[in-house]
A and B are shown apart, each in its own frame.
Chain A
Amino acid sequence: MNIKKILPQLLTLLVVILIFGFFSYNAQVNMENRGITFGYGFLSQESSFDVQFSLIEYDGSHSYFRAYLVGLLNTILVSVIGIIFATIIGVVVGIARLSNNYLINKTAAVYVEFFRNIPLLLQIFFWYFAALRALPLPQDTEPMFGVFFLTIKGFFVPAFVWNNLDVFIYSLIAALISIIFVRIYARKKQENEGIQTPVLSISIGILIILPILSFLFGGVDASVEVPVIKQLSQTGFTYEGGIKLPPELISLALALSLYTATFIAECVRAGVQGVSKGQKEAAASIGLTPNQVLKLVVMPQALRIIIPPTTNQYLNLTKNSSLAAAIAYPDLVLVFAGTALMQTGRAIEIVSITMLTYLSLSISISILMNWYNKKIAIKEK
């Protein structure tokens, strides 16, 4: 046994154990003094606080666990909205950065430099406290396309009222599954016979036809409910019906997507630039059309470079959505680590649950990413 190998490890272990022991001993003493017992039983107690905006039914009579779910769902909602818009803006700006048009290129560069150099929190505040406060009151709002109302109290959009929604969802799932089968079939056919099948148009066809069939034969029925203005008091107005997106959600999603889009744009640019010119020339020289070059040669290689850092950005966006607490959007941190913590005083349990939630999310995604990276890595002989 080499003492030089064992000693540093033992020492590290000792220090870590000492620190943990010190902390947990203190925590025990402190909790005893304050008369709190450690435990997660409080999750089933009645929460008795209200949440402004929730996707599932919730009021004060529900449990703390349900409050946790409300916060989690709100976090997921704003993250998904942010991810969708950030991807769209990011891809467009990233391609614009590659344009040989000087004006487009510079405009995209200015956008990227500007939005990535300003703290996200400042951007959220800007949209929430400055930009969205300049919107008109509900009674003065001009409708967009007759059905959308962007007011200081939020964004009112028409809602769909569904009959037999489940049949519609089943039809969508069926469409997706059949698209996967079509793709597998097309690939096999190309490998065996060398004949290409127009997968894209067939997929789009399936995706449109199956839901329409569900409307015709499955008894699915959708109608649109347009928000209608309603007077609450002498000067107070609001809209009824439809869906209300609160201004907190809008400003948060806006800031998150504009901020993250700058990073995604850089990922896209790096990815497309990372494909060497020789690849395109080689593909063109064996007679592929420009579209085929893009689809079969450039994109697969570019995506290999683009996807891992972009997933990282999605993860960052999800973690950044916790800034919601600053503008009182009821996300996981505000509802659970804020209000619930204030009410119960169980700092250790609640902060640990909140952190574990984010931790498990990001670790599972990074495991997925490692698996993906291994799968797509170029197999070198």
Chain B
Amino acid sequence: MNKLNFLQPDKNNFNTYLYTGVILISLSIFIVFLNSFFNRDIVSFLPGTISFFLPLFLGFIGLHLIRIDYSGLKFLDSINKNINTNNFNAFLSLIIVFVVIKSLPPLLSWFILDANIAGDSKDVCTGSGACWTYIKIWFNRFMYGMYPNPEQWRINLSFVALAFLGTIGFFATEKFKKYLTLYYVVVYPIIAFFFIFFFISGGPVFFDFSYGIIAAVISVIIGFFVPSKFKMYYFIIVPITVYILLKYVFFYEELIELGKLETLEWVETGAWGGLSLTFIVSFFCLIFCFPIGLFLSLGRRSDFPIIKYFSIGMIEFWRGVPLITVLFMSSVMFPMFLPEDMFIDKLVRVIIAISLFEAAYVAEVIRGGLQALPRGQYDAAKSLGMGYWKMHILVILPQALKLVIPGIANTFLALVKDTPLIFVVGLLEIVGMLNLAKTNPDWLGFAMEGYVFASVLFFIICYAMSKYSYNLEQKYKTER
């Protein structure tokens, strides 16, 4: 029989230490559990401070007793290795466990047990818990803003269609795989634009949109297939000429009118809002900020001094100011810079402002990727006789973009999280709608529910995005 030394448990008398320890730990957890779930304090006969610290003390001794190296029990070993390596760790682990046990009942009762969801007025919310009725009644407003109720199918339909079109890439056969980039970069955004432009708004809301712009865009796309010898001259001359010809010479007013779908009711952008506006703004800013950022990053590394310093200036300017002042600028200062008869919708101004702002961040991220590529890649591409654009499109950018997927994903996440700021110009996406609903006299005092609801939504969206970017990163990871 070995002597029991409680200060240094070892493998002799293993069972004694183990049982004593487990009993002490269970006792301490049991005390806290009873206290928090059933509000019973079974150690209340002790003086205040001692009864408060008793569970901690018991658990601490228990964890100390079961800390036996190489005990042979797998479970015990993994506990010792993970939460019980030394006294300090044991103490912290205990505190975390107790805090979790302590905070479960109030959270549960607020979220579920004492919460109300039935009924359709404030009067049903009498309990101490959350009033989910408030969310239920205001759900449409939080999702669609002030968009008229009978027209909301248009938003739903557009989003479903766009989501479907967005997943086409997964079903593409090998034959069409090579066109996917073109589809996602050019075709898909245009389709999305038409959906939002004609379907959700129902008319020429954004600016005096004419077929000249469409023709110019199409001519730019065609330009990529022009032989490289004439490409530069083509890009300089053709799109602008087409636009000017179509807009001012051939057609003028008639085609603007054609842009309207008469059967759909026109909904002005001021009425858009809620989560759908969050999606619309983030979607367009994502689409626009990426190419702008790409060109800025290439410009910053360019050999042409004018382009280089222009790019540096743009990047440093947008990165140096807070987004809220940019939005202020777009709402109060920008109209001063336009002719009096020219009006740009505030949603468009906001999208332009946020795109330029985030493009600067994207540019810096991509520059990081470009700098990380070894010089050999450039030299090899040049030695094959590739020109600047061919080299970048075929050799440099695919590798550089692969490297910076996490950085770009972080920038996109930041963009989604920045969209609530558009309240500055009076557009109410979900957070703005929450603030509006909160001040409604019939529904005072439910700020907490609203913010928790929005937080959960944003958390789901952003967490899913970050996990997806992690998957992409793993998928495209190549050993160098």
Contact of B306 among A12, A119, A347 (CB under 8 A): A12
Chain A 1-22 interface mask (CB, 8 Å, partner B; 1/0): 0001101110111001000001
Number of residues on chain B facing chain A (CB within 8 A): 58
Please name all residues of chain A whose beta carbon is closer than 8 Å to the beta carbon of B417 when the two chains form the complex. Answer: 117-120
Contact of B96 among A9, A104, A117, A337 (CB under 8 A): A104
Interface centre among B304, B434, B451, by most A CB within 10 Å?
B451
B324 touches A333 (CB 8 A): yes
B82 touches A101 (CB 8 A): yes
Q: Is B232 part of the contact surface with A, judged by Cβ < 8 Å? A: yes
A-B contact count (CB 8 A): 157
Please name all residues of chain B whose beta carbon is closer than 8 Å to the beta carbon of A114 when the two chains form the complex. Answer: 459
Q: Is B120 part of the contact surface with A, judged by Cβ < 8 Å? A: no
- Complex CA–CA separation, A337 to B331 (angstroms): 12
Q: Is A196 part of the contact surface with B, judged by Cβ < 8 Å? A: no
A93-144: which have CB < 8 Å to B?
A: 99-104, 107, 113-114, 117-122, 125-126, 129-131, 133-134
B339 touches A29 (CB 8 A): yes
- Complex CA–CA separation, A170 to B412 (angstroms): 48
Minimum CB distance partner of B332 in chain A: A347
A121 touches B463 (CB 8 A): no
Q: Given A31-B336, A101-B93, A326-B423, check contact A125 B431 (CB 8 Å).
A: yes
Q: Is A363 part of the contact surface with B, judged by Cβ < 8 Å? A: yes
A297-354: which have CB < 8 Å to B?
A: 319-320, 322-323, 325-326, 333, 337, 341, 347-348, 351-352, 354
Contact of B325 among A4, A13, A322 (CB under 8 A): A322
- Complex CA–CA separation, A7 to B232 (angstroms): 10
Q: Given A9-B306, A119-B458, A130-B447, check contact A362 B319 (CB 8 Å).
A: yes
Please name all residues of chain A whose beta carbon is closer than 8 Å to the beta carbon of B332 when the two chains form the complex. Answer: 341, 347, 351
- Complex CA–CA separation, A131 to B452 (angstroms): 11
- Complex CA–CA separation, A117 to B456 (angstroms): 10
Could you list some 21 contacts between A and B, CB below 8 A? A7-B232, A9-B306, A23-B337, A24-B337, A26-B338, A30-B337, A99-B89, A100-B81, A117-B458, A117-B459, A118-B455, A118-B462, A121-B423, A325-B324, A326-B423, A337-B325, A337-B328, A351-B329, A351-B332, A359-B320, A363-B320
Interface residues in chain B, defined as those with a beta carbon under 8 Å from any beta carbon in chain A: 81-83, 85, 89, 92-93, 96-97, 232, 236, 304-307, 310, 316-317, 319-325, 328-329, 332-333, 336-340, 413, 416-421, 423-424, 431, 434-435, 438, 447-448, 451-452, 454-455, 458-459, 462-463, 466
Interface residues in chain A, defined as those with a beta carbon under 8 Å from any beta carbon in chain B: 4-5, 7-9, 11-13, 16, 22-24, 26-27, 29-31, 33, 99-104, 107, 113-114, 117-122, 125-126, 129-131, 133-134, 319-320, 322-323, 325-326, 333, 337, 341, 347-348, 351-352, 354-355, 358-359, 361-363, 366
